[in-house]
A and B are shown apart, each in its own frame.
Chain A
């Protein structure tokens, strides 16, 4: 069920990116889609009642170099978290580039409305 809600968020973003005629709104739609995918990835690695995948002093025994069994059995999946960190940075990068293009286009055309930005045919 949480997956489905997350997918709903994704589809809302897709709707916004496809239907809206304003450049900033399109960017917003893309951002919403990115949030949804990131959330979905992290949700995949969640365990009910889990702990964060960070070992602190209480879970590590320096003498025996052993990690507490409780950590091994409850830690959530670190791999999707690493992926999401990468994905967040990528989305920030594409946001920066996209906004630059928007701002420059605004300077040229004086509008954010893509129905009026139409010099290219087809």
Chain B
């Protein structure tokens, strides 16, 4: 059975529109409904693996109307979004009991999911902008959900930078429209292939890179992330770090650079430099943090660097005309790391939420010795840490290994060295987390701490199992061919995208 593509957006939207109608009494029903929505999205995403389709909304053939494009990359993103959102939604069922206005929270959550799905599926550049705004606005509100001093401050900072990024993107869209006269991504791509890049389009590309770079929190533009991600409630931190920055930033950037404008050596190196800067700076800043969630937020910057590095390496290799196999290897590493990071970083944030809910603090210096009190949280956190550090056989190991192999094969030995070095820094970070949260002496005031039960546990165990099993995605050839290879194919094919979309 094939799912009509608009359902990916319509289901969360309609439920989000209805949720605020549930008052205080209908809170349980609202929670169940919202969970049903995310789980059905997960089912849709799994069913749609391997499908490629162009859906013309309103029966208007492109470029008259808007089209939705489902290809390998989109379905990979949809899968990642729905896995993380299903887990985070399950986690919030219990976690969000400590806040008021839960129905509105659930509504905003689903709106964010709908926005991300819309971005992943859109084949029209302006439509991509609109859905990007939905996801961003929902995330601004969710960051400030607690309404405390720090949360509001972080939310304002995030909102200002995010809105400036959105305006840059809109300006770039206007420039693209002024130069090509169309908004459909396939048609823009074709027009650019016919006319070449002129100064206007180059400026638009620069604006796109700044805009999406701000959304992805790459290093010169990262100022908002370490404030915004820790301030949000834990499931939202998991969503933001796990998937939002990747959909709005990395995915959109990759789509624009690879499929619309086409790669060039300059752009490839720009991405590599941005990726390396993010990796190194994020790792160094993370080591010095004493706030559990803030440490994880800085580590997100560093990990997104890996993804951008992989994608940028691929872009450089393609543009230099090197062997396509290496380029696909680098891109494979980047995308695989994207999925891996989505899973283990959201798990890490969920465990941090579990610790915070049990103890009421997230300062590393106030914690300690929780290994016995919180056995499940401890185990899942260890699994996630092992993954992020890259200990075999956990998922992070495989993506980093592939990235190193790709860098060595492309004869960028120093990049491989940096990757290994940053992995060591990551090891130090998470040893610190283990040492100060779970080992050491249990402080007096934490003797009565109890493990969280119910939906929170289920969500964490679900993600931990995924962390262990993710390695299979590259080890089992069938899975790799079904999920990762089509996504890599979309990027390596580059400008063939326009012909593909118009042909379907």
Q: Are A and B direct contacts in the complex by CB distance below 8 Å?
A: yes
- A120 near B227 with CB under 8 A, answer yes
- B140 near A97 with CB under 8 A, answer yes
B155-188 at interface with A (beta carbon < 8 Å): 155-156, 159-160, 163-164, 166-167, 170-171, 174, 177-178, 183
* Cβ contacts A84-122/B at 8 Å (1 or 0 each): 001100100110011001101100110000100111101
Interface with B: A33-41, A48-56, A67-75, which one? A33-41
For B226, list chain A residues within 8 Å (CB). Answer: 122
Q: Which of A17, A79, A114 contacts B164 (CB 8 A)?
A: A17
- B159 near A104 with CB under 8 A, answer no
Q: Which residues of B contact A (CB under 8 A)?
A: 126, 130, 133, 137, 140-141, 144, 147-150, 152-156, 159-160, 163-164, 166-167, 170-171, 174, 177-178, 183, 226-227, 231, 285
A23 adjacent to chain B (CB < 8 Å): yes
* Cβ contacts A1-42/B at 8 Å (1 or 0 each): 000000000100010010000010010001001100100110
- A98 near B154 with CB under 8 A, answer no
- B152 near A97 with CB under 8 A, answer no
Q: Which of A26, A34, A90, A104 contacts B147 (CB 8 A)?
A: A104
For this complex, 13 residue pairs linking A to B, each with C-beta atoms less than 8 Å apart, are A26-B160, A83-B183, A94-B133, A94-B163, A97-B141, A98-B163, A101-B140, A101-B152, A108-B148, A114-B156, A118-B153, A122-B227, A122-B285
Apart from A37-B171, A108-B149, A122-B227, list 11 A-B contacts with CB within 8 A: A14-B164, A17-B164, A30-B167, A33-B167, A86-B130, A94-B133, A94-B137, A97-B137, A98-B159, A98-B160, A104-B144
Interface size on A, residues (CB 8 A): 34
5 nearest interchain CB pairs?
Answer: A105-B152, A44-B178, A41-B174, A120-B227, A33-B167
For A30, list chain B residues within 8 Å (CB). Answer: 160, 163-164, 167
**Min C-beta distance of B149 to chain A, whole Å:** 5
Known A37-B170, A108-B149, A117-B153; judge A17-B130 contact (CB<8 A): no
- B163 near A119 with CB under 8 A, answer no
- B140 near A10 with CB under 8 A, answer no
Known A17-B160, A37-B171, A98-B159; judge A44-B152 contact (CB<8 A): no
- A41 near B177 with CB under 8 A, answer yes
- A101 near B164 with CB under 8 A, answer no
For B159, list chain A residues within 8 Å (CB). Answer: 94, 97-98, 101
The complex places the Cα of A41 from the Cα of B183 at a distance, in Å, of 12
- B164 near A105 with CB under 8 A, answer no
- A101 near B144 with CB under 8 A, answer yes
For A102, list chain B residues within 8 Å (CB). Answer: 156
For A80, list chain B residues within 8 Å (CB). Answer: 174, 177
The complex places the Cα of A93 from the Cα of B240 at a distance, in Å, of 21
Known A10-B171, A34-B167, A93-B137; judge A105-B130 contact (CB<8 A): no
- A37 near B174 with CB under 8 A, answer yes
A83 (CB) vs chain B CBs: closest residue: B126
- B150 near A105 with CB under 8 A, answer no
Known A30-B167, A44-B177, A101-B144; judge A120-B153 contact (CB<8 A): yes
For A94, list chain B residues within 8 Å (CB). Answer: 133, 137, 159, 163, 166
The complex places the Cα of A75 from the Cα of B177 at a distance, in Å, of 18
The complex places the Cα of A105 from the Cα of B140 at a distance, in Å, of 14
**Min C-beta distance of A65 to chain B, whole Å:** 20
**Min C-beta distance of A48 to chain B, whole Å:** 16
